[in-house]
Chains A and B, each alone.
Chain A
Amino acid sequence: GQNIDQPTEMTATEGAIVQINCTYQTSGFNGLFWYQQHAGEAPTFLSYNVLDGLEEKGRFSSFLSRSKGYSYLLLKELQMKDSASYLCAVMDSNYQLIWGAGTKLIIKP
Chain B
Amino acid sequence: IAGITQAPTSQILAAGRRMTLRCTQDMRHNAMYWYRQDLGLGLRLIHYSNTAGTTGKGEVPDGYSVSRANTDDFPLTLASAVPSQTSVYFCASSDGLAGGPTDTQYFGPGTRLTVL
Instruction: Give A contacts to B, CB under 8 Å.
Output: 4, 30-31, 33, 41-45, 48, 50, 87, 89, 91, 95-102
Give how many B residues have a beta carbon under 8 Å from the other chain's beta carbons.
22
Instruction: Give B contacts to A, CB under 8 Å.
Output: 40-45, 48, 58, 90, 97-101, 103-110
B58 nearest CB across to chain A (Å): 7
Determine if B104 and A33 form an interchain contact, defined as CB atoms under 8 angstroms apart. yes
Determine if B106 and A45 form an interchain contact, defined as CB atoms under 8 angstroms apart. yes
| Complex Cα gap A92–B58 (Å) | 13
Question: Taking A43-B107, A48-B104 as contacts, is the C-beta distance between A96 and B45 under 8 angstroms?
Answer: yes
Determine if A31 and B43 form an interchain contact, defined as CB atoms under 8 angstroms apart. no
B61 nearest CB across to chain A (Å): 13
Besides the known contacts A31-B100, A41-B110, A95-B97, 18 further A-B residue pairs in the complex with CB atoms under 8 A apart: A4-B42, A33-B104, A41-B109, A42-B90, A42-B109, A43-B43, A43-B107, A45-B105, A45-B106, A87-B43, A95-B103, A97-B43, A97-B105, A99-B42, A99-B43, A101-B40, A101-B41, A101-B42
